Amino acid sequence: MGAWARHRLRDLATIVGGGTPPATDPAFFGGPVPWLTPKDLAGFRGKYISRGARSLTLEGLRAANARILPRGSVLFTSRAPIGYLAMAANGIATSQGFRSLVPNRGVTAEFLYYLILHKRGLIESIASGSTFREVSASVLGNVEVRVPTSIGEQEAIAGVLGSLDDQMGLLRDQMASLEDLGRGAFNLRFMASGAMRRVGLGSLLDLAYGRPLPAASRTGRGYLVMGSSGPIGRHSEFLVRGPGIVVGRKGNVGTVHYCFDSFHPIDTTFYVVPRHPGSPMYFEYLLLKSLDFEDTDSAIPGLNREAALGQRVVFPGWAQIADFNRLMGPVFAKIRHNLARIETMGQMLGLVLPRLMEGRLALRSRPGPG
């Protein structure tokens, strides 16, 4: 292992904020500039991101007082919430909810990404604010870190961590293809004909409210804790026996997540109560994924339960649903297998990350400038 030097983050990267143009002017949106808000990273499991749900025009970029960050910039959400992390796959702008880091000479972009991932808990702990907690550019820049002086050693460390991320990315891509296969089969079998009987969604399932479980109360092990963006932690006790389905009620309204095992949905979600207990609910999951849940709660932004259950949906009959669930069994079994492998690799990443980033696990450096 070579020499390591102490730095502040401000010595390693230029820290850049973002901005949002006035939402009332449509001329600012829909242009060629990719643009991210923290919501775009909710549930994002990859490393590189190329765009968000919306984009800006050049006029919108100027009105936002934002700038286009170069490829390789480390994108870190500094409020609402703190700690979402990604890398820019291309030139991209962000909202004011980010403090992004553009690496300087002496540090590689990939190493800086994993360095922030390693320090994320510390950065979250030093946030401040009375109305909502936020990490300022000065606070982020003042975080002290240790970095190998050798670019080759930085690349070797990032290479080991990146190989795990890449393998998890391939498994997620395969899962997405499998889910596309399921959606295709669902559409072909139930949506191609307009003559299919329709009933209210409430005839097929009910939506029950999740229960609060603050982060400080979670044990960190055991059953998945599910929020509207997906898994957000683990706890020793479950609320719902799996398999089950979670629907985003607040925050990420209308998102749909399938859980193979027992879980605890928090109060930003609904969970599905099937009309036929014991069903794997593959049909119900793909049905819910096909619906367009709008923000229907006028008093407080969110998904209105009664409006959701009142949506008219296809109902082929319970016998056909059972037959479709049998057909989808192997597809979902493969998805479950991939999830288990991803979890194992994620645990491995969590194990080696602090050792590598603190210089406690030596690697052979790749050739490179010193």
Final residue of a domain: which of 266, 294, 315?
315
| Total tally of structural domains belonging to the chain | 2
Domain annotation covers residue 123: yes
Domain shared by 206 and 309, yes or no: yes
Same domain, 104 and 213: no
Please provide residue 311's backbone torsions phi and psi, each rounded to the nearest 5 degrees: -60, 140
80 lies in which domain range?
Answer: 4-130+140-148
Is 216 inside any structural domain?
A: yes
206: number of CA atoms within 13 Å, CB side? 7
pTM: 0.83
Q: For residues 198 and 205, what is the distance between their CA atoms, to the nearest angstrom?
A: 14
In this prediction, residue 193 carries a pLDDT of 75
Q: What is the band of 72 on the pLDDT scale with cuts at 50, 70, 90?
A: very high
Answer whether 146's CB lies under 8 Å from 359's CB: yes
Q: Which residue has the higher pLDDT, 270 or 44?
A: 270
Are residues 210 and 112 located together in one domain of the fold? no
Cα–Cα nearest to 235, from 218, 215, 210: 218
Distance (Å, whole) CA 60 – CA 40: 18
Note whether residue 86 is domain-resident: yes
Average of per-residue pLDDT across 278-306: 84
200 neighbors 301 (Cβ within 8 angstroms): no
Whole-angstrom Cα Rg for the chain: 23
Whether residue 211 is found in the same domain as residue 107: no
Cis peptide before 81 (omega within 30 of 0): yes
Claim to verify: residue 123 and residue 201 sit in the same structural domain: no
Q: Note whether residue 190 is domain-resident.
A: no
287: domain CATH number is: 3.90.220.20
Strand-strand pairing, 4-8 and 144-148: antiparallel
DSSP string, 126-194: T-B-SSS-B--HHHHHT-EEEEES-HHHHHHHHHHHHHHHHHHHHHHHHHHHHHHHHHHHHIIIIIS-T
Give domain status of residue 256, yes or no.
yes
Per-residue pLDDT band for 367 (boundaries 50, 70, 90) equals: low
Q: What is the mean pLDDT of the chain?
A: 93
pLDDT (tens digit, 9 = 90+) per residue, 22-40? Answer: 999 999 999 999 999 998 9
How sure is the predictor about 370, in pLDDT bands with cuts at 50, 70 and 90?
very low
Q: What is the pLDDT of residues 175-199, one digit of tens each?
A: 999 999 999 999 999 998 777 899 9
Q: What is the mean pLDDT of residues 152-166?
A: 95
Residue finishing a domain among 299, 315, 331: 315
- Average pLDDT, integer, range 348-363: 91
144 and 203 belong to one structural domain: no
Same domain? For 110 and 51 the reply is yes
Question: Of 315, 330, 357, which one is at a domain's C-terminal end?
Answer: 315
